[in-house]
A and B are shown apart, each in its own frame.
Chain A
Amino acid sequence: MSGEPDGGVRLPASLSGVEAVQSVRTPIRLEYDFRPSASAQSYLRAYAERRIIGHRSPVDGAVFIPPRGVDPRYGVAISEEVDLPDTGHVGNFCVTHLPIPGRKGLEVPYVSAWIHLDGAAVGFLGLVRGCPHDEVRIGMRIRAVWKPDDELEATPENIRHWEPTGEPDVPLERAGNRSFHASRPQTDGNTGGNADA
């Protein structure tokens, strides 16, 4: 078997001396009209009222945000909505020195953090501002900075960013994903993750 990759293609005489095509630029454009699901609609409308909605699991009461209608641990549907406060702590974060393609007006570097709202069992991504980026810490207490009431729409972008409150930090061993275990007694191993994480 020869290792010749192209098998030695020969061009017809009429093409000798013709410059070979190196590449073809073929723009692709596809449009998708995404409609929010019923649970997403409820969530988005709540934002317009300066409310943050989560979904409470029927299995153990864990509150998920954003509300996606399912508890991913069990594949169980969730329909119970709960209001969450707009305060919490930084569960995790990174300082990014790259701009986001297509997003204007975001000064670099910026801090994107996993926001763990009080009462929520999981985090979601948000921007943290209001202090130098090298002062952001895991466990730092934060609150939402909302757009003015007359600018509120049905979108999570009503929250411009999250700022430190100045309260004492949540200790490392109870911050972020560890807060769930810290908030309840140890039962069986199925409630998730590593007990001492």
Chain B
Amino acid sequence: MREVAVVATALHQVPALTDTTEVQLMVPLLNAAREAVGLTQADIGFTCSGSSDFLAGQAFSFVQTLDAVGAFPPISESHVEMDGAFALYEAWVKLQIGEVDTALVFSYGKSSPGSLRDVLALQLDPYFLAPLWPPAEAIAALQARLLLEVGIVGAEELAEIAVRSQRNAVGNPNAVRSSREVTVADLMAEAPIADPLRPSDLAAESDGGCAVVLAAGDRARELCDRPAWIRGIDHRIDAHGLGTRDLTLAPSAALAASLACTAAGLEVDSLDLAELHSPTTSQEAILVRAFGLGGSTEVNPSGGALAGNTLMAAGLMRIAEAAGRIIDGRADRALAHATSGPCLQQNLVCVMAGD
């Protein structure tokens, strides 16, 4: 495998973007990411983005966003209707082929104009489940209920996850929910939104975007003093039907992590940090167990997706947050995770190292 690294990141996340379009959001982020490593768009070998039409309420919504990139002279470019983490995977694959040395990856999401809980219902089985319009938090609550009933997780652990997210998020300019003082008792006193999930168990909705520059081999070393090398990256999917799988587990996440760590030649307990794209505390509990994360690995130092879940970009942001901490020397080894679909159906794991 060719050595590929994250060499630059830029992200921005707010509760709601009111005065800017997605294009205006991405222009400064794309420029910041490229400029961080002194590249122009003409220097970039391949560009790939992720976004969703249903989120935007517009068919072909990504077409307008191409205006933010500066796509003239024409560029080699593609797009997935998925979280930007999967666009990053596609770019990583492109770099493996060996014909280009740099890639620009970006994704964005603006859920504030629409109703996210209703939009996400359309991911469900179109013939049997979507017509019932179950809100996203109810679907997640089914999974959380199972976790509690089976005894895998206790209610207090869920609240602890929420507290840790809010405290870690303090000082993160891109977090939309943070608190230094919140306690487990505070959160356990909240009335549930979708029992057993309380408001603090659900990710804070946000709008925002993220841009990442990848580079291969010596090019990465030229551009960045301490690239965040992608030592392993893999993604897998589980069955769609909620009744056909054990919702207390995330086998595709475990498998992706196992394959990524094997490729990286790293054990999970050597990881300094793990940025997990967990839209609920219950899902974070599942992922921690699926990955076998122990006490020595800090989970979601950025606050994670619970502190701000920009749909279609939250996974790429986890990669950016983790990579950023390697690039600036705060960490040596990191795992970043992205998820898609109801109840952790599809999962991507990216293992990065500073050496």
A/B touching: CB–CB < 8 A: yes
For A38, the chain B residues whose CB sits under 8 A away are 19-20
Contacts of A26 in B (CB 8 A): 126-127, 130-131
Chain B residues lying within 8 Å of A35, measured Cβ to Cβ, are: 18, 113
Instruction: Provide the B96-126 mask, 1 if CB < 8 A to any CB of A, else 0.
Output: 0000000000000000011100110010001
Known interface pairs A30-B114, A31-B114, A76-B27. Does A68 touch B71 (Cβ–Cβ under 8 Å)? no
- What distance in Å separates the Cβ of A131 from its nearest Cβ neighbour in chain B? 33
What's the least CB distance linking A109 to chain B, in Å? 25
Given A26-B130, A30-B119, A77–B28 Cβ distance below 8 Å? yes
Assembled-state Cα–Cα distance A192/B72 (Å): 7
In angstroms, how far is the closest chain B Cβ from the Cβ of A154? 16
Pick the contact of A70 from B19, B68, B126, B131 — CB < 8 Å?
A: B68
A68-B21, A72-B67, A75-B70 known; A32+B113 contact, CB < 8 A: yes
**For window 23-49 of chain B, which residues contact chain A by CB distance below 8 Å?**
23-24, 27-28, 30-31, 41
Cα of A75 to Cα of B77 in the assembled complex, Å: 15
Q: Is B182 close to A, CB under 8 A?
A: no
B57 within 8 A of A: yes
Tell me the smallest distance from the CB of B310 to a CB of chain A, in Å.
Answer: 17
Which residues from B are CB-within-8-Å of A31? 114-115
Point out the residue from A28, A75, A77 that lies within 8 Å of B69, measured CB to CB. A75
Query: CB-defined interface of B53-74 with A at 8 Å, one 1/0 digit per residue?
Result: 0100100000000111111110
Q: Does A37 lie within 8 Å of B20, measured CB to CB?
A: yes
The interface residues of chain A lying within 8 Å CB-to-CB of B69 are 75
A28-B122 contact given A37-B20, A68-B21, CB 8 Å threshold: yes
Give the distance in Å from the alpha carbon of A73 to the alpha carbon of B72 in the complex. 5
Task: Tell me whether A20 is interfacial, beta carbon within 8 Å.
Answer: no
Across the interface, B70 reaches (CB within 8 A) one of A33, A39, A72, A192, namely A72
Cβ of A15 within 8 Å of any chain B Cβ, yes or no, is: no
Number of interface residues of B (CB under 8 A): 31
Binary interface profile of B, 129-147, with partner A (CB < 8 Å = 1, else 0)?
0110000000000000000
Contact B27 A30 (CB under 8 A): no
**Which residues from B are CB-within-8-Å of A33?**
113-114
A19 to B122, alpha carbons, bound, how many Å? 28
Distance, CA A68 to CA B21, complexed state (A): 8
Contact digits for A60-77, partner B, Cβ 8 Å, 1 yes 0 no: 000000001111111111
Known A30-B114, A34-B113, A37-B21; judge A73-B127 contact (CB<8 A): no
Taking the closest CB of chain A, its distance from the CB of B121, in whole angstroms, is 9
Q: Is A190 an interface residue (CB 8 A)?
A: yes
Contact indicator A37/B72 (Cβ below 8 Å):
no
Give the residues from 171 to 194 in chain A that come closer than 8 angstroms, CB to CB, to chain B: 189-190, 192
Q: How many A residues face the partner with a CB closer than 8 A? A: 26
Main secondary structure of the interface of A (DSSP, over half): loop
Q: Give every chain A residue within 8 A of B118 (Cβ-Cβ).
A: 30
- Chain A residues near B72 (CB-CB < 8 A): 72-74, 190, 192
Complex contacts, A189 vs chain B, CB 8 Å: 73
Nearest residue in A to B57 (C-beta to C-beta)? A32
**Nearest CB to that of A33 among chain B residues?**
B113
Which residue in B19, B27, B127 is a CB contact (below 8 Å) of A75?
A: B27
The 0/1 profile, CB within 8 Å of A marked 1, for residues 141-155 of chain B is 000000000000000
Whether B67 and A68, one on each chain, are in contact in the complex, defined by CB atoms closer than 8 angstroms, is: yes
Find chain B residues with CB under 8 A from A75 CB.
27, 30-31, 41, 67-71
How far apart are the CA atoms of A127 and B240 in the complex, in Å?
47
For A30, give its contact among B67, B71, B115, B131 (CB under 8 Å): B115
CB distance from A84 to the nearest CB of B (A): 20
The 8 A CB mask of A29-58 against B (1 = contact, 0 = none) is 011111101111000000000000000000
Q: In the complex the two chains form, is A69's CB within 8 Å of B24's CB?
A: yes
A40 CA / B21 CA spacing, docked (Å): 9
User: CA separation between A37 and B114, bound complex, in Å?
Assistant: 16
Q: Within 8 Å CB of B119, what residues of A?
A: 30
- Distance between Cα atoms of A70 and B18 in the complex (Å): 17
Interface residue A24 (Cβ < 8 Å from any Cβ of B)? yes
User: Which 7 residue pairs of A and B lie closest in terms of their CB atoms, listed nearest first?
Assistant: A75-B70, A32-B57, A72-B67, A26-B131, A73-B72, A38-B19, A32-B113
Chain B contact residues, CB within 8 Å of chain A: 18-21, 23-24, 27-28, 30-31, 41, 54, 57, 66-73, 113-115, 118-119, 122, 126-127, 130-131
What are 11 sample pairs from A and B whose C-beta atoms fall under 8 A apart?
A26-B127, A26-B131, A30-B115, A37-B19, A37-B21, A38-B19, A73-B70, A74-B41, A75-B41, A75-B68, A190-B73
